[in-house]
Structure 1
């Protein structure tokens, strides 16, 4: 499993200077990402890859390219990850790892296009003080830079680290399957490198750039490994990431994008029933941690487990 490109992108982006909005590191990252999108042979989203905007006295810039699909008349998928950091921090896991994965998937989609075009959206302004404000890159893009309808959004954040619980280090959580019945996809066994645990978005909230899509009732999937001890810390450095796991997540994301590209996604919004997949995943991944407790039953059982996971397991 070749992880060289993933590692190179993370090391290039995750410097000690960080990528905080308004800093030299932020400007350097912006230029690097535009060059990477061009180097992959993607089309600019409009006239240029860089889409600058100003908000509250700050200069921000979304960096966006397109992997064309074989049926350009279809509404595209958005594959998104933010590139700014919360302060002058390296931000290897938050969120250089997600950028590297998105670029890997973009390369695969350029070589073998999906039916729908895929907008590779590297959003700015996800971190405070812009988070959930009109200056947040994804929100600004949706309202002011978007060039038509969106079929579905696939958003990545905090996808470079091992889950800090023994026995489930290779897990990745996916929310948003409930946003459309066609997104209720059984991903058990699809990868040798990562395991997938579906979870309702309402359990964790709109933690990243999928917020604007959910708020406007667009289908979405959000992938994350959760928070860990290096979240928003100077210790979030490239040497602490699991690049083999990242390669597995890249394969998973490509599979999801291709499946979603072929799906109708005709709603109703939040009409997907994920309960069976959630219960099966909890039993499969957390059974030993539960110490042989009785099987979870129904939504109340999942509710109780999520409360335990967020407390006792530290997720």
Structure 2
């Protein structure tokens, strides 16, 4: 690890420790946990010099809010590169990987990109209400944001951070989505030592552009794939909200339950994560956003 990467690793670990350690499960039914989470994210962004905007809406069982900061682009078009991550958890889990790891990378990417002067606007969004039951009840923060963007006629390209901190090197530590035909399984990695960039078929150009920027910034293995949305596993995060509005979007993920045995469990704790490779995820995402926003 280079000297320049060291602060990134330390900050990632601090963010996860706060969210999944000090705060723990983050659910609307426990308002103090959401208030503490929102306050922490807000404080981090304000300390970086950002102006934080709240995007409030009514979820199925109460008020919810997304938090948003932006780096305005120089180009007069409405193209916006969105990097997002949900900050809520399921009730029984502290959610270190799901999804404190992603919020940590979101915060660190926004810090590293703060002084950029991009051609296209870069937007960073911490989403409310990704976990069940909100997806099935049409109450996701990302659904609200994507609809609002569509009404504003924004040209969105969306990168969804969804569980980015768990890596394994053992053989057969990586599973293949059950809906993938068995004769295709040999085309998928067998070790859980990569980040996946997963898009629907319409997002192939975005996946290519992301891959080029990511690979210029890090040597971390990247598995890029575009699949039809009938493969249910690829719709299980905030990227699906943007697909539903016709936007290209990718899910950037350690593949969740296909790799991490702590998924949605009380054992999803900060010490289970690989902060060295999380650092490489952050650096790769930053490299991709720099390239995509030119």
From 251, 270, 291, give the equivalent of 1:222: 251
**In the superposition, relative to structure 1, how do residues 112 and 86 fare at CA in structure 2: closer, same or farther (>3 Å)?**
same
User: TM-score, with normalisation over the residues of structure 1?
Assistant: 0.75
**Larger relative contact order (C-alpha < 8 A, sep ≥ 6)?**
2
Q: Which residue of 2 aligns with 1:194?
A: 220
1:159 aligns with 2:164: yes
Q: Which residue of 2 aligns with 1:255?
A: 287
Q: Which residue of 1 aligns with 2:139?
A: 135
User: TM-score, with normalisation over the residues of structure 2?
Assistant: 0.80
In 2, Cα distance between the equivalents of 1:43 and 1:72? 21
Q: How many Å apart are 1:141 and its aligned residue?
A: 1.8
**SS of alignment partner, residue 79 of structure 2:** coil
Report which stretch shifted further, 184-193 or 52-61: 184-193
Name the structure with the higher helix share: 2
**Structure 2 gap segments, 5+ residues each:** 172-189
**In the superposition, relative to structure 1, how do residues 62 and 201 fare at CA in structure 2: closer, same or farther (>3 Å)?**
farther
In 2, Cα distance between the equivalents of 1:225 and 1:155? 12
Q: How many Å apart are 1:189 and its aligned residue?
A: 5.3
When Rg is computed on C-alpha atoms for both structures, the one with the higher figure is 1
On the 8 A contact 2:86/2:129 being kept in 1, the answer is yes
1:150 aligns with 2:173: no
Q: How many Å apart are 1:182 and its aligned residue?
A: 3.4
**SS of alignment partner, residue 102 of structure 2:** helix
Aligned residues: 258
Q: Which residue of 2 aligns with 1:237?
A: 269
On the 8 A contact 2:92/2:265 being kept in 1, the answer is no
**Structure 1 gap segments, 5+ residues each:** 263-315
Q: How many Å apart are 1:199 and its aligned residue?
A: 1.9
Matches within 5 A, 1:92-103: 92-103=96-107
Q: Which residue of 2 aligns with 1:288?
A: none
1:211 aligns with 2:240: yes
